[in-house]
Structure 1
Amino acid sequence: MKIIVPMAGRGSRLRPHTLTVPKPLIPVAGKPIVHRLVSDIAKVLDQDIEEIAFILGDPAFFGQDVVDDLEKLAKELGAKCSIYRQLDPKGTGHAIMCAKESLSGPAVIAYADTLIRADFNLDKTADSVIWTKKVTNPEAYGVVKLNEREEITELIEKPKTFVSDQAVIGIYYFKDLGVLRNELQYVLDNNILNGGEYQINDGIKRMMQNGKIFKTGAVDEWMDCGNKNVTVETNSRMLGFLKTDGEQLIHNSALMENSRIVEPCFIGENVVLKNSNIGPNVSIGSNTVVENSSIKNSLIQNQSKIHNADLDNAMIGNHVIFNGNFDTINIGDYSVVE
């Protein structure tokens, strides 16, 4: 089994945090988004992962430190790491085709801007499985249309009239990824564009037209990391799941002085808490110092210094110095607010 991860986008909706760190590498509940996504998919598949192919953008932004991090992730899962580049953002289908050499055999394609919780077996009778989540406002999503055999017959983007409440979340399984590769090659060769870009859906639709069977795989939870507010919410939800799973969330090296933690919280390595109340639903990255503060429902990254703060629904980057009386804030890396 392979996992293909297109992650070349700059994550503009999550700025300022993505000005210095690619969005898939921003930690949520103490672990980068792409690490959680790939690890959770591997857990659901319950199969040996042969290769993980990452499609990155410009090396000036997705540099060697990013490559090293992803190689380490693949190694931890016992998989070969392949790195490809999409230097020109021409759509989801184009991104996948940038990894053309790896597009064969059984594989999962997963876009690295979402997190999931799922527990199901892949339908071995299907040529492909599209993972979906039931939503209350399907008009805001791309949805699948099903026939009486629960097979996907159509993909419809933001339907104005009700078609289905099963939204496509951006994770796909293919029994033979080479079939999708061939159809996407046709899309590129014949310049089939949607919204001015080459889309994965056009390759999938050609597979359906040629008789390939598509089924749905429903996830229990689907969590977005698109902008600051939903990322903070995702952090809170993930902390709750990890606490239920019994995962250790408070590092043994964390130092507390006259402070209280209301779980669930992630407290990273060498964090120092002084005269502070932390939680619930707070993640604090390694080597960060928090003093004389009250923080809840917030996400703070590494090596920052927080003083005299009363924070709720805040997101603070790496190497930040914050000393002030603001509650809902969004501060990127290397910022100083005093």
Structure 2
Amino acid sequence: MKIIVPMAGRGSRLRPHTLTVPKPLIPVAGQPIVHRLVKDIAKVLGEPIEEIAFVLGDPAFFGDDVVESLTKLAEGLGAKASIYRQDQPLGTGHAIMSAEPSLSGPAVIAYADTLIRANFNLDPEADAVIWTKKVDNPEAYGVVNLNDKEEIVELVEKPKTFVSDQAVIGIYYFKDVAVLKQKLQEVLDENIMNGGEYQINDGIKRMMAEGKIFKTGTVDEWMDCGNKAVTVETNGKMLEFLASDGEEQLVSNSVINKNSTIIEPCFIGENVVLNNTTVGPYVSIGNDCVLYNVTVKNSLIQNATIIKNATLDEAMIGNHVVYDGNFKAISIGDYSVLE
């Protein structure tokens, strides 16, 4: 089994946090988004992963440190890491084809801006599986249309009339991803574009037209990381799941606690100093941070940041920040100083 991870986008909706760090490398509940996504997919599949192919953007932004992080992630799962570059932002289909040498055999394609919780077996009769989640407002999503055999026969983007309430979340399984590669190559050769981009859906539709069987794989939870508000919400949900699983140590033994209270669930990294502070619930704090006279809940704080005299709620604070102030629901990028 292979996992293909297109992650070349700059994450503009999550700025300022993605001005210095690619969105898939933003930590949520103590680990980068893409790390959690890939590990959770591997756990769901329950079979050996031979290769993980990452499609990155501009090397000036997705540099050697990113490549090293992703290589360690793949090797930690016993897989080979393959690194590809998407030289132009020409859509999901183009991103997948940037990893063309790896597009053979059984594979999962997963876009690295979402997290899931799921537990199911792949349908052996299906040529492909599209992961979906039941939503209350299907008109805001791309959804699947099913026949009486529960097979996907159509993909409909933001339907004006009801088609189904099963939204496509951006994770796909192909029994042989080479079939998708062939269809996407046709899309590229014929210059078929939607919104100025080559889309994965156009390859999938051609597979359906040839009678390939597509089934749904329904996830229990679909957690977006598209902007600051939903990323903070996802952090809280993930902390709750991790605390329930009990598989990860969420609060480091190296935390220095001076007259402070931790209300779980929280993630607190290495060498964090808490002085006259209340943390939690639903807070993640990266390594080497100092919080003095702070009350913080429902928030994300990255590494090497100093916060003083603050009450924070639904805040997202980057790396190497110094903040001393009164605002609650703040969003501060890396290397900012507000005193």
User: In 2, Cα distance between the equivalents of 1:4 and 1:66?
Assistant: 16
Cα RMSD (Å) = 0.4
Q: Which residue of 2 aligns with 1:52?
A: 52
Alignment of 1:227-306 (within 5 A): 227-246=227-246, 247-306=248-307
Tell me by how many angstroms 1:87 deviates. Answer: 1.2
Alignment of 1:150-229 (within 5 A): 150-229=150-229
In the alignment, residue 270 of structure 1 is paired with which amino acid? N
Q: Which residue of 1 aligns with 2:125?
A: 125
Tell me by how many angstroms 1:231 deviates. Answer: 0.3
In the alignment, residue 268 of structure 2 is paired with which amino acid? I
User: In 2, Cα distance between the equivalents of 1:256 and 1:298?
Assistant: 19
User: In 1, Cα distance between the equivalents of 2:273 and 2:245?
Assistant: 26
Q: Structure 1, residues 224-282: CA drift from partner, whole Å, max 9, x if none?
A: 00000000000000000000001321011111000000110000011110000110000
Q: Which residue of 2 aligns with 1:334?
A: 335
In the alignment, residue 199 of structure 1 is paired with which amino acid? Q
User: In 2, Cα distance between the equivalents of 1:270 and 1:45?
Assistant: 35
SS of the aligned residue for 2:18 comes to helix
Tell me by how many angstroms 1:5 deviates. Answer: 0.1
SS of the aligned residue for 1:248 comes to coil
User: In 1, Cα distance between the equivalents of 2:26 and 2:129?
Assistant: 28
Q: Structure 1, residues 164-220: CA drift from partner, whole Å, max 9, x if none?
A: 000000000000000000000000000011111100000000000001000000000
Q: Which residue of 2 aligns with 1:39?
A: 39
User: In 1, Cα distance between the equivalents of 2:232 and 2:61?
Assistant: 24
Structure 2 residue 117 is matched with structure 1 residue 138: no
User: In 1, Cα distance between the equivalents of 2:60 and 2:44?
Assistant: 34
Structure 2 residue 109 is matched with structure 1 residue 109: yes
Farther off after superposition, 54-63 or 239-248: 239-248
Q: Which residue of 1 aligns with 2:19?
A: 19
Alignment of 1:41-120 (within 5 A): 41-120=41-120
User: In 2, Cα distance between the equivalents of 1:245 and 1:233?
Assistant: 19
Q: Structure 1, residues 270-306: CA drift from partner, whole Å, max 9, x if none?
A: 1110000110000000001111000000000000001
Tell me by how many angstroms 1:12 deviates. Answer: 0.1
SS of the aligned residue for 1:159 comes to coil
Tell me by how many angstroms 1:326 deviates. Answer: 1.1
User: In 2, Cα distance between the equivalents of 1:289 and 1:114?
Assistant: 29
Structure 1, unmatched stretches of 5+, are none
User: In 2, Cα distance between the equivalents of 1:33 and 1:291?
Assistant: 28
Q: Structure 1, residues 50-98: CA drift from partner, whole Å, max 9, x if none?
A: 0000000000000001000000000100000000000100000000000
SS of the aligned residue for 1:65 comes to helix
User: In 2, Cα distance between the equivalents of 1:298 and 1:93?
Assistant: 35
Tell me by how many angstroms 1:325 deviates. Answer: 1.1
Identity of aligned residues (%): 76
Q: Which residue of 2 aligns with 1:9?
A: 9
In the alignment, residue 99 of structure 1 is paired with which amino acid? A
In the alignment, residue 178 of structure 1 is paired with which amino acid? A
Tell me by how many angstroms 1:327 deviates. Answer: 0.8
User: In 2, Cα distance between the equivalents of 1:133 and 1:201?
Assistant: 18
Structure 1 residue ranges, 4+ long, deviating more than 3 angstroms after superposition:
none
SS of the aligned residue for 2:230 comes to helix
In the alignment, residue 301 of structure 1 is paired with which amino acid? Q
User: In 1, Cα distance between the equivalents of 2:95 and 2:76?
Assistant: 25
SS of the aligned residue for 1:293 comes to strand
| TM-score, length basis structure 2 | 0.99
Structure 2, unmatched stretches of 5+, are none
Tell me by how many angstroms 1:24 deviates. Answer: 0.1
In the alignment, residue 200 of structure 2 is paired with which amino acid? I
Tell me by how many angstroms 1:100 deviates. Answer: 0.2
